[in-house]
Amino acid sequence: MEASDKKQFTSIKTQIEKIVDDKVDEIFKDYNYDGQNAQEKSNQVAEAIVKEAQQLASKNFKLQAIAMVLNKETSGFHLSASCYWDSTQDGNINKKFDKFETFYVIITLFGISRA
């Protein structure tokens, strides 16, 4: 792939943020925190985000989504994520959703250029 053919993550970041917002709203719209199925919901949203975002990113990027569902009543939480990358091509998204009554959702997505 020629350097001029490389797609920068910044060129699709806004569209991917919308995908993240839409998938969180869709999957958690009627959900109340339940420790028995929080892992299932976490898997579901991460997979849905990557599946739809990968269509947008095509073969230009490898995507990794990390999703966490945390009970508001009992969760103390700290998270860090890091990745070595080319800051001119690669990028990431970190979003915290605290609009739900009983839980938080935190999404971290890395977009790593394949070129």
- Residues 6-22: what's their mean pLDDT? 92
3-state class (DSSP) for residue 5: helix
**Tokens 């997979």 — which residue?**
47
- Report the pLDDT value the prediction gives residue 21, as an integer from 0 to 100: 98
pLDDT for 1 equals 43
Residue ranges per domain, the chain?
3-113
C-beta of residue 92 within 8 angstroms of C-beta of residue 51: no
pTM: 0.87
> Across all residues in the chain, what is the average pLDDT?
88
φ, ψ for residue 88, nearest 5 deg: -85, -15
Lowest mean pLDDT of 16-25, 78-87, 103-112, name the range: 78-87
What kind of architecture, by CATH, is found in domain 3-113?
2-Layer Sandwich (3.30)
Numbers of helices and strands, H then E, in the chain: 2, 3
